[in-house]
């Protein structure tokens, strides 16, 4: 049995504002730091074989707080980053529609495949994360893995592993600093063991 424990980073000011936060590297706010400390306490008795985090500071710092005092190195992987929103990064929906009206219309016509200028499409980010999952499951079979990353990334991992595909990504809501678990048996069958705990 392979167990993957997925933690979303703690809150940021951009989360409070409600922006499309992708690769813009913003820090945790005070609430986010407190949320990470609470996650650390919840996981204090859990043992992990490895930890992989998004290199963006909001995820990496959440992982650092959770693993404080443990002898476990944090690996980083760029494939765990949130979707790259390019020129729209860290803007709200209203800001995008007003600053980029023509591009916004094209996005609304094909949300899955529209590629933001300087960024990536929803499908592009899904495929990147699916590639990461395939290599992870193959390389670390029967391990207990801690992953600290982003809401969109966790939702894509869940949808991919349980066979919902790209359309299923929207079926999940992942809270800041929440603990989420997915288990994969020896036959490769995955099931969700915890969501937002």
* Cα 137 from Cα 118, distance rounded (Å): 31
The residue whose two tokens read 């005070």 is: 30
Let me know if 22 is exposed, middle or buried by CB neighbors in 10 A (0-12, 13-18, 19+): buried
82 is catalytic: yes
Q: Could you give the C-alpha distances from 84 to 22, 26, 142, 189, in angstroms and in order?
A: 5, 14, 31, 30
30 is catalytic: no
**Under 8 Å between Cβ of 29 and 16:** yes
* Among 11, 82, 120, 150, the one annotated catalytic: 82
Residues taking part in catalysis: 9, 82
């Amino acid at each position: 049995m392979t167990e993957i424990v997925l933690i979303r980073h703690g809150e940021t000011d951009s989360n409070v504002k409600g922006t499309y936060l992708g690769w813009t590297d913003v820090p945790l706010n005070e609430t986010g730091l407190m949320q990470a400390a609470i996650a650390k306490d919840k996981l204090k008795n859990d043992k992990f074989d490895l930890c992989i985090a998004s290199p963006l500071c909001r995820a990496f710092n959440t992982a650092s707080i959770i693993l404080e005092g443990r002898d476990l190195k944090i690996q980083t992987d760029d494939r765990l980053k949130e979707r790259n929103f390019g020129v729209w990064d860290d803007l709200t929906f209203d800001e995008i529609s007003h600053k980029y009206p023509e591009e916004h219309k094209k996005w609304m016509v094909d949300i899955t495949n529209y590629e933001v200028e300087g960024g990536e499409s929803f499908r592009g980010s899904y495929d990147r994360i699916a590639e990461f999952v395939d290599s992870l499951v193959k390389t670390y079979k029967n391990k207990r893995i801690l992953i600290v990353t982003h809401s969109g990334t966790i939702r894509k991992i869940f949808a991919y592993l349980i066979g919902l595909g790209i359309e299923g990504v929207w079926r999940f809501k992942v809270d800041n600093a929440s603990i989420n678990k997915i288990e994969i048996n020896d036959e490769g069958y995955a099931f969700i063991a915890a969501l937002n705990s």
